Amino acid sequence: MNKRQPNILLIFVDNHPASMMGCYGNDEIFSPHLDDLASKGVLFRNAFCPNSMCSPCRASMLTGLMPSQHGVHTWLDDYIMDTWPEGFSAIAEFETLPEKLAKKGYHTALIGKYHLGFADEPQNGFKHWVAMEKGTMESFYDVPMIDNGQRHTAPEHSVDYFTRKSLDYLDKHASPNEPPFFLCLTYPAPYANVPDPDHRYSHLYADLPMNSVPREGLSPELIDWILMCKEKFPDEDFAWYRRLAEQPNDLPSMRRFYAQVSMVDDGVGQVLAKLQEKDVLENPLVIYTADHGKSNGQHGFWGHGEDTWPSNMHHSANSIPLLISYPGFAQAGLEVDNLVGTTDLFATILDLADCELESPESVFGQSFGPLLRGETTEFRDEVFMEQEETRAIRTSEWLFMKRLENTKYRFKDELYDLVNDPDERVNLAQDPNYAEVAAKFSSRVEEFFTKYSNPRWDLWKGGTVKSNSTRPFLWEEVWGEDWTPEF
């Protein structure tokens, strides 16, 4: 370990699948700073999030816990903030990553999107606090912000705003006379379905053929979800759900989405340049990752894994980029094929910061510090994911999605042979020849969630959710009309 604890820059972006970066093989996207970070650091080829929605993944990153442990199963709906308890934070009862780091002398900062409750004041152990008032993105411009207690509207693009605020923070805290810092920079981008006027990177994509975006027919499961929403939520704006069916082959939306990645890349470049300019940091730990992935038409749908009925855990929805630079510790230019997840990131940061992982039996995450060094080490070959009525295990050879059984919808499990069917197209779960494989993984999923669930938040065993569910009708049907979200 280094003599001095590393300064830590965690860049945690929104809606960014790994496939939308040059360093992951996409030759249509302009991401030079991220590609350079990958070439000088460590690139993880198989990193996955535990859920395909924003708030649950942010909660898992900050606590190391699965959604069935911390209780956040989908995005927290800012439009029902008037129902939240005063000062609500969805993970207030847990000792979070910034709280643990603060105990070791770190100065902690969140600059960007919070989306785990009220953003009026610092939450969860963060001391420096610059955040959007709401987690839901409605526009990239004129966004209401809270800057360490001061409210104002940021006229510029929010990516540029949070970049500027991060540069200001580093000017003050990237100093040998200051304590080590943990800066969590949470850009609210890329986000293509938000109105976004042309900006300085839009021209790069104006005439791009977008050959990296698949042209597929609509998934039947997407259509089923749209029709289910129309039936179960008659008072909601159905046009929003209808757009889910229009977007998979909507090239203007995809071009906006790609352009947002370039905006983020620009901001990352500025922040990394500032670190180099300060020239006072011993081996800073820099991490770039995302809360979740997103399908850009793969498997016939656009959006999150919960945007189908039943929800899915296909690669496109849950695969995230993970780039790590830690000079003097991590092997530059290394590419890692091991399966890792968001909870591993929690464990790894604590490990590299010389913080003890308390109650390791309650956290599935494992430090991948040895993988950063390129060491040959035994690292488990599985990650787990959950999306309300769907739970999944992914190994290097298989993807198994287990569905809730006690419903009238008769959901079917899914099993994919990733060696012979890497695109996850042929469901083998109902094939008698694969019955033993399906049974083995079904038991493993049950075993995992028996250990890594809190009965209060275990939806499969009568538990509930914090704030809201995207499928409340399902849980009312399964557990009775008295079922309701809690806090």
Higher pLDDT, 5 or 415: 415
Taking a C-beta distance cutoff of 8 angstroms, is the pair 101, 351 a contact? no
CATH number of this structure's domain 8-378: 3.40.720.10
Strand duo 181-186 + 8-13: pairing? parallel
In the predicted structure, residue 361 carries a pLDDT above the cut 90: no
- Count of alpha carbons within 13 angstroms of residue 468, beta-carbon side: 16
In the predicted structure, residue 312 carries a pLDDT above the cut 50: yes
- Check residue 2 and give its pLDDT: 43
Tokens of 452: 């890594």
In the predicted structure, residue 85 carries a pLDDT above the cut 90: yes
Q: How far from the centroid of its chain's Cα atoms is residue 334's Cα?
A: 23
Task: Tell me the average pLDDT of the chain.
Answer: 94
Q: What H or E segment, with its residue span, contains residue 438?
A: helix 435-451
pLDDT in tens, 124-139: 999 999 999 999 988 9
Share of the chain above pLDDT 70, in %: 99
Backbone φ and ψ for 14, nearest 5 degrees, come out as: -115, 140
pLDDT in tens, 255-308: 999 999 999 999 999 999 999 998 766 679 999 999 999 999 999 988 899 999
Tokens of 223: 């259509």
Determine the average pLDDT of the residues in 191-218: 90
Is residue 420 classed as helix, strand or coil in its secondary structure? Answer: coil
Determine the average pLDDT of the residues in 21-31: 97
- Rounded CA separation 116/472 (Å): 20
Tokens of 106: 């770190």
Q: What is the dihedral of CA 90, 95, 99, 104, to 10 degrees?
A: -170
Category of 359 on φ-ψ map: left (φ > 0), alpha (ψ -120 to 50) or beta? left
Tokens of 206: 């104006």
Residue (of 399, 394, 405) closest to 427 by Cα position? 399
Tokens of 117: 């409750």
Taking a C-beta distance cutoff of 8 angstroms, is the pair 155, 141 a contact? yes
- Check residue 165 and give its pLDDT: 98
pLDDT in tens, 330-344: 999 999 999 999 999
- Check residue 177 and give its pLDDT: 86
Domains in the chain: boundaries: 8-378
- Interacting residues of 193 by C-beta distance below 8 A, sequence separation 6+: 243, 247, 253
Q: What H or E segment, with its residue span, contains residue 476?
A: helix 472-479
Q: 222-239 as b/e, with b when 16 or more CB fall inside 10 Å?
A: bbebbebbeeeeeeeeee
